[in-house]
Amino acid sequence: MISYLRHPMTHTWVILVLATLGSWSLGFESAAARRWVAPLILLIALTKCRIVMRNYMEVRHAPDWLRWACDGWLALNLALIGSSYWFAV
């Protein structure tokens, strides 16, 4: 049992759970703070996606061009979703 607690994927899973709980708790902010909370939750989601791609999809050991392409794809999604939210509010 103790070997499971020492495994790096367990640490990754705990980080993902804490990030999920953190973004969930940000949803209870006041209406005045909502303009800034949504982009923060979007950044947390981007970070979680990057963690999942790097650790669970084995992109960490992939060639450099593939890691950069994955990071670029995430940055593009962040820019598109973030700008559409920012200009709609």
pLDDT tens-place string over residues 69-88? 999 999 999 899 988 887 87
Number of domains within the chain = 1
Both tokens of residue 78?
A: 């962040």
Q: What is the pTM of this model?
A: 0.81
Given a contact cutoff of 8 angstroms between Cβ atoms, the answer to whether 37 and 12 are in contact is no
Q: Which residues of 1-38 are buried (b: 16+ CB within 10 A; e: fewer)?
A: eeeeeeeeeeeeeeebeeeeeebeebeeeeeeeeeebb
Distance CA 79, CA 70 (A): 14
Q: What is the pLDDT of residues 22-35, one digit of tens each?
A: 998 888 876 667 77
Given a contact cutoff of 8 angstroms between Cβ atoms, the answer to whether 78 and 43 are in contact is yes
- With a pLDDT cut of 90, the percent of the chain lying above it is 44
Structural domain including 21 reads 2-88
